[in-house]
Amino acid sequence: MTDDQWPEAPRPTDVTVAPSEPGGLPPETRPAVVPPTHGSRTTYDREMAEVKDNVLRMGSLVEDQIRAAIAALVAHDAEAALQVIRDDWQINDLQRKATGMIAATIATQNPVARDLRFLLTLDHVSYELERMGDHAGSVAKQARKLAPFPPLKDYVRLPILGERVATLVHGIIRALVEVDEAAARRVAALDDEVDALYHQIFDEVLVLMRDDPANVDPGTRILFASHYLERIGDRVTNIAEDIVFLASGEVEDLNQ
């Protein structure tokens, strides 16, 4: 059976009816039992499109949250950072809706082959995006605590790291929309740059903390924030692996 074909329910004439037992209906008048059929393809396509739309909205919100957290950091805006933390509920809500819709679609529509792979991929992508939203909120928490203090060496390139990570999120969502395996691989490869920048920030902050004990508190905050951003990059790579699986059916580790 191909991806876009659904088995037809047997017609009454296709069903073999057992001979009548004493006291029962004669065979020719007994109603044939017809197994339940799959839902209509139109309903199924609509449900699939709605699930996909929710996941894409999650991706857009995650990208916005990352940029908003970094903007609050650079502007020393504690209130803006707090708003990022509060807005995380939107991503959580979309993830719950996506998961519920995916479970319902699988239960009622019996998807097979590529359609089932697509739904399972979206379910895992929604989980990864929800965790990215949590990481963006954690960056905002550090920005809020850093707001009253002067920046430590322009936050040691932390804003650059934030922008690169947001760009990766944007790129991987585009690859998901188009189910573009090559694009997904390119985005995953860019995570190496994120890792390199993270290690540069880490090393530089350690030097600043050793040189002046007053740098320990803000330096620690910067290290925490950079770690959360680096984790977002890792989760982008996880989504890239999901796209490779969706496109090819192969499970591959892109972190190598």
Greater confidence, 1 or 112?
Answer: 112
Give residue 40's pLDDT.
62
Helices 216-248/41-75 angle, 10° precision? 160
- SS3 state of residue 219: helix
Give me the pLDDT at residue 149, please: 87
Could you tell me which residues come within 8 angstroms of residue 108 by beta carbon, excluding any fewer than 6 positions away?
39
The predicted structure's pLDDT at residue 25? 46
Looking at residue 166, its pLDDT comes to 97
For residue 108, the model assigns a pLDDT of 87
Q: What is the DSSP letter of 32?
A: P
Mean pLDDT of the chain: 86
In whole angstroms, how far apart are CA 49 and each of 27, 84, 155, 211?
45, 28, 42, 55
**pLDDT computed for residue 65 by the predictor:** 98
* Element of type H or E holding 126: helix 113-146
The pLDDT, as a whole number, for residue 20 is: 47
* Residue 129 contacts residue 59 (beta carbons within 8 Å): yes
**What is the C-alpha to C-alpha distance for residues 17 and 254, in angstroms, rounded to an integer?**
56
Q: Which of 32-36, 49-53, 92-96, 106-110 has the highest mean pLDDT?
A: 92-96
What confidence tens digit (pLDDT) does each residue in 50-69 have? 888 999 999 999 999 999 99
Strand segments, DSSP code E, in 101-250 are none
Could you report the per-residue pLDDT of 219-233, keeping only the tens digit for each?
Answer: 999 999 999 999 999
- Nearest Cα residue to 241 out of 185, 190, 203, 197: 185
Contact partners, residue 209, CB within 8 Å, separation at least 6: 215, 216, 219, 220
